[in-house]
Amino acid sequence: MRIMVTGGAGFIGSHTVDALVASGAGEVSVLDDLSTGKRSQVNAKATLYQTDLRDAAAVGSVVERARPEIIFHLAAQMDVRRSVADPAFDAQVNLVGFLNLIESARRHGLKRVVFASTGGAIYGEQDEFPCSEEHPRRPVSPYGVAKLATEAYLFFYKAEYGIDYLALRFGNVYGPRQDPHGEAGVVAIFCGRILDGKPVTIYGDGTQTRDYVYVGDVVRAVVAAAKSSASGIALNIGTGIETNVNDLYSTLAGIADFPTRAEHAAGRPGEQKRSVISPARAARELGWRPEKKLADGLEETFKYFKQQRALKLK
């Protein structure tokens, strides 16, 4: 099996590549522009193509060489705030980039796509908690709009060209290798501030909630999606458990034995108040369930960042 992982030098992508290589799934290639990913995180047994998805000619050249039968599309412009500030840039990466990829791949033997969608931004403010995949999709950011549009394009490519797909709507993924920049990196940001001995800033009153899911659990879902016969549907990949930011910080500060209380600043415009997704359909379709408890995952994540800090100081 010829496999391509876009964004394979990044947080979730590099863990996915490691899992695929370890399982002997096939010949693995990575497409990443290294704008946020790190070359050092790419598994030595995978072939790295440093390519920008917005460059149609370059993407076409890579796809012609790699000829992937399955693509794990994890590459993205993932900063919600940047998508609001610059919707055109977000669309160029998240929509045009995807189309450059799949248009080339469909001509070179592509059979299946596993797409990293979003279980937060795609639903907007929820009516039910946790919400199922049937919840109305009301994205309030260009990032969420682009993810929803990509799911629609995948439906088109299945209907027109017979390319199977699964869209995985991730909760707030955290864990080792997380990028400490952007909204999705809140756990990494907190870890960095604690290790620097600096106060943590929580925007708003801290009662806003998210569904925090450990990266190892997410990767199990991604790999299971590749093996599944399910096609043409979206699956929530989360825990179904709400955690507010105040409690998240309190747990992490306790793990780090960090006595400093968090500081609060004005809330960010447009931030969702509550977000939590039901993983019931993923359990039925993939046999997948989250396994890592939040406290245990936070402990492993903090340990990772502490070790990385120690290596840098040597």
Residue 144: which CATH number? 3.40.50.720
Query: Quick check: is 10 in a domain?
Result: yes
Query: Quick check: is 256 in a domain?
Result: yes
Query: Quick check: is 116 in a domain?
Result: yes
pLDDT of residue 183: 54
Q: Is the domain of 228 the same as that of 135?
A: yes
Give me the number of domains the chain comprises: 2
| 98: Cβ contacts below 8 Å, ≥ 6 apart | 53, 73, 150, 153
Of the spans 143-152, 263-272, 305-314, which averages the highest pLDDT? Answer: 143-152
Q: Is the domain of 163 the same as that of 257?
A: no
Query: What share of the chain in percent tops pLDDT 90?
Result: 92
Q: Is the domain of 195 the same as that of 270?
A: yes
Mapped onto helix, strand or coil, the DSSP state of residue 236 is strand
Q: Is the domain of 301 the same as that of 255?
A: yes
pLDDT of residue 51: 98
pLDDT of residue 313: 77
Query: Quick check: is 299 in a domain?
Result: yes
- Residues 277-305 have a mean pLDDT of 98
Q: Is the domain of 189 the same as that of 130?
A: no
- Residues 242-265 have a mean pLDDT of 97
- pLDDT surpasses 90 at 230: yes
Query: Quick check: is 283 in a domain?
Result: no
Write out the residue range of the structural domain in which residue 184 sits: 174-210+241-278+293-313
pLDDT digits (tens, 9 = 90+) for 72-103: 999 999 988 899 999 999 999 999 999 999 99
Query: Quick check: is 203 in a domain?
Result: yes
Helix (H) or strand (E) holding 172: strand 172-174
Which member of 49, 123, 143, 165 is catalytic?
143
- 303 versus 184: which is more confidently predicted? 303
- Residues 10-37 have a mean pLDDT of 97
Query: The domain spanning residue 190 has which CATH number?
Result: 3.90.25.10
pLDDT digits (tens, 9 = 90+) for 143-159: 999 999 999 999 999 99
Annotated active-site residue 203? The verdict is no
Q: Is the domain of 101 the same as that of 188?
A: no
Q: Is the domain of 232 the same as that of 246?
A: no
**CA–CA gap between residue 104 and residue 96 (Å, rounded):** 12
Query: Quick check: is 108 in a domain?
Result: yes
Q: Is the peptide bond before 130 cis (omega within 30 degrees of 0)?
A: yes
Tell me the average pLDDT of the chain.
Answer: 95
Q: Is the domain of 21 the same as that of 9?
A: yes
- pLDDT surpasses 90 at 197: yes
Residue type, 96: V
Q: Is the domain of 16 the same as that of 139?
A: yes
Q: Is the domain of 178 the same as that of 168?
A: no
Q: Is the domain of 178 the same as that of 309?
A: yes
φ/ψ bin of 147: left (φ > 0), alpha (ψ from -120 to 50), beta (otherwise): alpha
pTM over 0.85: yes
Query: Quick check: is 288 in a domain?
Result: no
Q: Is the domain of 105 the same as that of 183?
A: no
- pLDDT surpasses 60 at 295: yes
